[in-house]
Amino acid sequence: MSVRNLGAIFRPRSVALIGATDRPGAAGRVTMQNLLAAGFEGSIFPVNPKHKAVAGIPAYLDVKSLPLAPDLAVICTPPQVVPQLIAELGARGTKGAIVITAGFAELGNEDGRRLQQAMLDAARPHLLRIVGPNCLGVLSTPVGLNASFAPGNAEKGGIAFIAQSGAMVTTVLDWASTRSIGFSHLVSLGDMADVDFGDMLDYLASDPATSAVLLYIEAVTNPR
């Protein structure tokens, strides 16, 4: 368990969305809309070699062409390119990534496990931390961050809700929005290749915006 570089994920000053798009229904489009609508005051960099702009914001061809190293990268690309993207981001100095993309160890086959290990191996030399893969994303209301493809935003509050399941996070968000219940963080950990419940508890225990932590646990990666 470690809180190292988790601040880059939950309190970033800049975010790159890799796989940003205007294509209806795509995770990259919903995530871009959420990033813009949540009130995030930092820089947002859409990355897509096929678009000159996404949601009216100039887009970049690749990680190397970004004007600076983003604190956080959100990845919505095909799984095969994720390890290379993580390596490029780490080399630029990025310290946190949310991998929304599925197609890794959750498939239960050797190719998926190998791809997930390649992603972790690419992150390790740079101490880059990863939420996911195969996750809904992260909402952090203290900084107006909605780096997810959840259908809507969260109100501010003192509760942090952490689950593996994106469907569970969506359900709780929908339920809370009609009852004016607010959150400091909503996090879908997905396959927990790196960041897990232990890391989250360590981080949130000292988070000034969080007064209570609610966990929906399906699996524990490190029981002790």
At 115-153, the pLDDT tens digits run: 999 999 999 999 999 999 999 999 999 999 999 999 999
Whether 1 shows a pLDDT value over 70: the answer reads no
And the tokens for 179?
């009852």
The pLDDT assigned to 150 comes to: 96
Does the structural domain 7-216 have CATH classification 3.40.50.720? yes
Whether 222 shows a pLDDT value over 90: the answer reads no
For 76, 96, 142, 143, 176, the CA distances from 201, given in Å and listed in that order, are 26, 17, 17, 19, 22
How confident is residue 35, by pLDDT bands cut at 50, 70 and 90? very high
- What gap in Å lies between CA 211 and CA 97, rounded to an integer? 25
Whether 32 shows a pLDDT value over 70: the answer reads yes
Domain residue limits, the chain: 7-216
Residue 84's CB is within 10 A of a number of other CB atoms, namely 14
Q: What does the mean pLDDT of the chain come to?
A: 96
The whole model's pTM is what? 0.97
Residue 208's CB is within 10 A of a number of other CB atoms, namely 8
pLDDT (tens digit per residue) in 156-214: 999 999 999 999 999 999 999 999 999 999 999 999 999 999 999 999 999 999 999 99
Portion of the chain with pLDDT greater than 70, in percent: 100
